[in-house]
A = this chain, B = another copy of it.
Amino acid sequence: MDDDELIDALAQTAFAVMAALNRVGAEYDLSLTQLRVLGILRDRRMRISELAEYLGLEKSTITGLVDRAEKRGLLTRAPNATDGRAVDVFITPAGEALAVPAYARLVELLAPPLAALQPAERRQLRQHLRTMLGPESV
């Protein structure tokens, strides 16, 4: 079947991108999930349960994740203004100071494979991926 090869290519690409993310994470002493949380919280704050839903993890997992990041000063908790049960999580300046160069490092690591494509091909690839991901990804 033809699509099997596309799926193989997608899986290999996913592993390659994950390897780059893991490498960035290792350089900044962050796990994949920590890196992801920092990226998510760069432009918004979220409640514990929202983070859990967004990441597809259990609330108790987020508690531990935020505990460790908070201990390092990368994230902070604050009680939610309107719901006394809820806890907002947001990034600290120190967290942002880590997230920015980490993202730049990811771009750097992915540059060589992307350079194998012509600019027009890169635009096509981006468009196809977006189509695949669907409108909610924008």
Could you list which residues of chain A lie within 8 angstroms of chain B, going by C-beta atoms? 2-7, 9-19, 21-22, 36, 56, 106-107, 110-111, 113-114, 116-117, 121-126, 128-134, 137
Find A5's partner among B4, B56, B126 (CB 8 Å cutoff).
Answer: B126
Q: Are B131 and A117 interface neighbours, CB within 8 A? A: yes
Given contacts A14-B14, A17-B14, A114-B6, contact A128 B131 (CB under 8 A): no
Copies of this chain in the oligomer? 2
CB A57 to nearest CB in B, in angstroms, measures 10
Q: Main SS of chain A's interface residues? A: helix
A21 to B13, CA, bound (A): 13
Q: Are B14 and A18 interface neighbours, CB within 8 A? A: yes
CB A100 to nearest CB in B, in angstroms, measures 13
